[in-house]
Amino acid sequence: MGPLGDSYALRCVSDLPPPFRPVFGFRYFNSLQSECFPVCFLSDVNMVVSAPTGSGKTVLFELCILRLLSRFLTTDWRFNLLKGTQKTIYIAPMKALVQEKMRDWKVKLGSLGINCLEMTGDSEFFNKKAIHDSDLILTTPEKFDSMSRHGVRDGGLGFFSDIALVLIDEVHLLNDPRGAALEAVIWRRDAASEVDNQSYAPAKNDFLFERRLQSFIFDILMQHSRGKSALVFCSTRKGAQEAAQCLSQTAGSLGYSNPFMKSMQQYEHLREASLTCSDKQLQSCIVHGVGFHNGGLCLKDRSLVEGLFLKGDLQILCTTNTLAHGINLPAHTVVIKSTQFL
């Protein structure tokens, strides 16, 4: 067995537990596979692999699958699979690629008793029981997106809690127009793992993109702008308002530790100013040191927000690009949130 720290030492298939060795029809892993072996088979960390076509990335997927299946190994190397309890989801952008992997893995993993299920537009012969009993589901982003959304209505997402490994092939297609479906299923999978039996309605792609970015803004401000003024540019009026509400709720939940509030005098100024707001949503945000500015506000409210920000009482201002047209509001930090629209 080659040393773990030596990336130039080729790993041998015999380094695997005996039940897993027949999966591979060769003796040694290549240099890429050997270098990734400790991460794929000896750890549970997330990883992204960028390598040329034909470099052997499929073997890395297989090592990750075997890592998951190693949970069913006994101390004397017996393999006792509990069917359907630890699922792997393989997602590829093309049906042809899914079907190719299906044929390959049915042969390679069949000896271990792994139940593979293809879910594409060409395979409509599956039901809840077939999904429940499967160990490896191979699908496209669009099919998995459709199935998971429809499953919300008929209670067919129980298997989400059994998903232990997600493999994404050709992940660079996130930047493709079809990438939105892939992003949707990843987000839905993460959300479902955090909240059981939560309903998630189908979302427009732009809406999904905005919602995912929303959760990052507070941490970014804490890292780069703690105690200083910041402008957060959003692509839409509603996006600016929702970003401000999200930040104000987070800050408000911290009570006296609100990072956007430096003194009781600042709080009193904001509280008094909020009473003059015509917009109720803006009123609720201002008292926590956060405001929003867009064309939907009346002139009085826009002027109020601009004045509070210039004086330093309002520390965070979420706005649309209208603020950048002729209005001079200096800030320590500027966050451009919806970068897909630039």
Higher pLDDT, 324 or 245: 245
CA distance 234 to 216: 13
Cβ density class 189-219: b for 16+ within 10 Å, e for less: beebeeeeeeeeeebeeeebbbeebbeebbe
Q: What is the DSSP string of 175-231?
A: GSTTHHHHHHHHHHHHHHHHSTT-------HHHHHHHHHHTTHHHHHHHH-TTS-EE
Q: How confident is the model at residue 131 (pLDDT cuts 50, 70, 90)?
A: confident
> What strand order describes the sheet that includes 290-293?
290-293, 316-319, 230-233, 333-336
CB atoms within 10 A of CB 293: 27
H helical segments located in 43-178:
57-69, 95-110, 128-133, 141-154
Of the given ranges (70-84, 157-171, 322-336), which has the lowest mean pLDDT? Answer: 322-336
CA distance 37 to 42: 7
Residue with tokens 């004397």: 76
Task: Answer positive or negative: Cα dihedral of 170, 171, 174, 178.
Answer: positive
Q: How confident is the model at residue 24 (pLDDT cuts 50, 70, 90)?
A: very high
Q: How confident is the model at residue 249 (pLDDT cuts 50, 70, 90)?
A: confident
Q: How confident is the model at residue 227 (pLDDT cuts 50, 70, 90)?
A: confident
Q: Decide if pLDDT at 322 tops 60.
A: yes
Of the given ranges (46-50, 106-110, 209-213), which has the lowest mean pLDDT? Answer: 209-213
pLDDT score at 1: 43
CB atoms within 10 A of CB 183: 16
> What strand order describes the sheet that includes 87-91?
116-119, 136-139, 87-91, 163-168
CA distance 152 to 159: 12
Q: How confident is the model at residue 171 (pLDDT cuts 50, 70, 90)?
A: confident
The answer to whether residues 323 and 293 touch, using CB atoms and an 8 Å cutoff, is: yes
> For the chain, what is the mean pLDDT?
82
Average pLDDT over residues 135-158: 73
CA distance 172 to 15: 31
CA distance 48 to 171: 9
33-53 confidence digits (pLDDT tens): 999 999 999 999 999 999 888
The answer to whether residues 203 and 211 touch, using CB atoms and an 8 Å cutoff, is: yes
Closest CA to 258 of 227, 282, 280, 283: 227
Average pLDDT over residues 27-38: 95
How big is the chain by its Cα radius of gyration, in Å? 26
Prediction pTM value: 0.55
pLDDT score at 61: 96
pLDDT score at 53: 82
- Ordered domains of the chain (ranges, CATH): 1-80 (3.40.50.300), 81-203 (3.40.50.300), 217-341 (3.40.50.300)
Please give the C-alpha separations between residue 26 and each of 21, 114, 169, in angstroms, as whole numbers: 9, 21, 23
Closest CA to 166 of 147, 146, 193, 132: 193
pLDDT score at 193: 54
Average pLDDT over residues 182-191: 73
Q: Report the percentage of the chain scoring pLDDT > 70.
A: 81
Q: Decide if pLDDT at 265 tops 60.
A: yes
Length of the chain: 342
